[in-house]
Amino acid sequence: MSTPYELLGGESGVRRLADEFYKVMAERKEAQKIRKMHSENLSPIKEKLFMFLSGWMGGPDLYLMKHGTICLSSPHAAYKIGSDERDQWLACMDQALLNIEASEEVREMLKEPMFQLADVMRNAD
């Protein structure tokens, strides 16, 4: 079985996904609440998302190699993240996957794990 990393086209595909995710977030009116949680310059966070997704999707553990640890809750602790914010994030990711023309197989493969990943970030409700 191929990994999502491979099915998306490796490094270039995962990088496209990270870039498209933040593009979608910036464009979607309903995602402005989560967009405001980020700085104006999205370049550093795009790179971090790309590095995280690389390893999380079965590719090289770039984030781990650079930062030595992966703790998603600490950087998100300063923000109120409830079900609405989780769902906004998931909607942006779903749209980004569609925009980069990820296959239905990849989208289905990622659906539940993406939900679990986003749900772990919730610290309010």
Whether residue 125 lies inside any domain: the answer is no
pLDDT-derived band at 1, boundaries 50, 70, 90: low
Whether residue 58 lies inside any domain: the answer is yes
- Average pLDDT, rounded, for the chain: 93
The pair of structure tokens assigned to 75 is 């950087």
Whether residue 73 lies inside any domain: the answer is yes
Q: Using CA atoms, how far apart are residues 67 and 91, in angstroms rounded to an integer?
A: 28
Q: What is the Rg, in whole angstroms, of the alpha carbon atoms belonging to the chain? A: 14
- Number of folded domains in the chain? 1
Per the structure, the complete domain to which residue 75 belongs is given by 4-120
Whether residue 82 lies inside any domain: the answer is yes
Q: What is the mean pLDDT of residues 33-42?
A: 93
The pair of structure tokens assigned to 60 is 């090289």
Report the CATH number at residue 18: 1.10.490.10
Residue 81: strand, helix, or coil: coil
73-104 pLDDT, tens digit each: 777 888 899 999 999 999 999 999 999 999 99
Whether residue 91 lies inside any domain: the answer is yes
What pLDDT does residue 94 have?
98
- Upper half-sphere CA count for residue 88 (Cβ side, 13 Å): 21
Whether residue 79 lies inside any domain: the answer is yes
Whether residue 52 lies inside any domain: the answer is yes
What pLDDT does residue 68 have?
80
